[in-house]
Amino acid sequence: MSHKSSITSIACLCLVLLLIFPPYILGSTTLGESTFPVEDESEIIWESVNATESWYIDVEFVRFTASKIYNETYDEKNYLFINYTLEFYHRYSWVPRYTNSFYMAYNKTLNFLNWSAEGFLNGNLFIFPTPINLTLIGEAVKREGFLNYSVIGQKLVLDYYGNNTRIEISINSSGLSTIIEKITNETTIYRWELNEEEIIIKVPFGSNYLMITIVSIISLVVITKKKIAYSKKH
């Protein structure tokens, strides 16, 4: 087979791969203008790593799981619905304490962010639309009852009803809270941390990954053939 025929065959194969496996981004859901760092049937886990509140210290382990994530229309807006479970480990098994669902909607053009009472009142501020806008999140929480908020770096600090309690939330660029800590009189009441091992692995370079890979393979084949041809001449 000639050099040109080989390259043509490889190009055709790559085209077939593109048609069969179109480029896409793993681990994200887009609703209108909103992009969330999760997809249907995702499961993300946060674990309590430090606590002084009686309920937390009376059990061995506590974890919060967001799962069965799906989108639906509510009040004429596209919402992301998230089923969550708060459970504790007791006598060799996990026991659910709360099982519920909350929703979230976001529109960057309208500067709109809203989520259900189960989301903000129970402190379930774990997943956010991207790109992250901490001020928008703070204003949305403030509208629902918190007296004030401040932004420190990539951390959102919520004034919990004006007393000596605050909630500090660290959010990564992917839209997931990595640390959620409730502090009263400088004492940690609870601290949640994202279980990094449970995060969905995203494809590098997003939707361009497959195209970049194919181009790289073709380039490698061309360079290799040129080197072989050059070595035969010499």
The per-residue pLDDT for range 1-46, each reduced to its tens digit, is 555 555 555 554 544 444 444 443 336 676 666 677 777 667 788 8
Q: Are 167 and 123 in contact (CB under 8 A)?
A: yes
Our CA dihedral for 123, 166, 171, 39, rounded to 10 degrees, sits at: 0
Q: What is the mean pLDDT of the segment spanning 77-89? A: 77
Backbone angles phi, psi at 123, to 5 degrees: 75, 25
Return the pLDDT at 153. 86
List residues bridging with 190 in a β-sheet.
Answer: 51, 182
Return the pLDDT at 209. 42
* The token pair that represents 132 in the structure block: 């992250």
> How far apart, in whole angstroms, are the C-alpha atoms of residue 103 and residue 116?
6
> How far apart, in whole angstroms, are the C-alpha atoms of residue 117 and residue 120?
6
Q: Residue 182: name the closest of 202, 158, 146 by CA.
A: 158
- Give this prediction's pTM: 0.64
> How far apart, in whole angstroms, are the C-alpha atoms of residue 53 and residue 119?
21
> How far apart, in whole angstroms, are the C-alpha atoms of residue 2 and residue 106?
55
Q: Is residue 186 over pLDDT 50?
A: yes
Three-state SS at 111: coil
> What does the domain layout of the chain look like in residue ranges?
29-144+172-198
Alpha helices in 3-161 (DSSP H): 3-20, 54-57, 117-120, 134-143
Binned at pLDDT 50, 70 and 90, residue 51 comes out as confident
> How far apart, in whole angstroms, are the C-alpha atoms of residue 64 and residue 226?
56
- The percentage of residues in the chain with a pLDDT greater than 70, rounded to a whole number, is 61
Return the pLDDT at 26. 39
- The tally of CA atoms less than 13 A away on the side-chain side of residue 41 is 1
One-letter amino acid for residue 165 of the chain: T
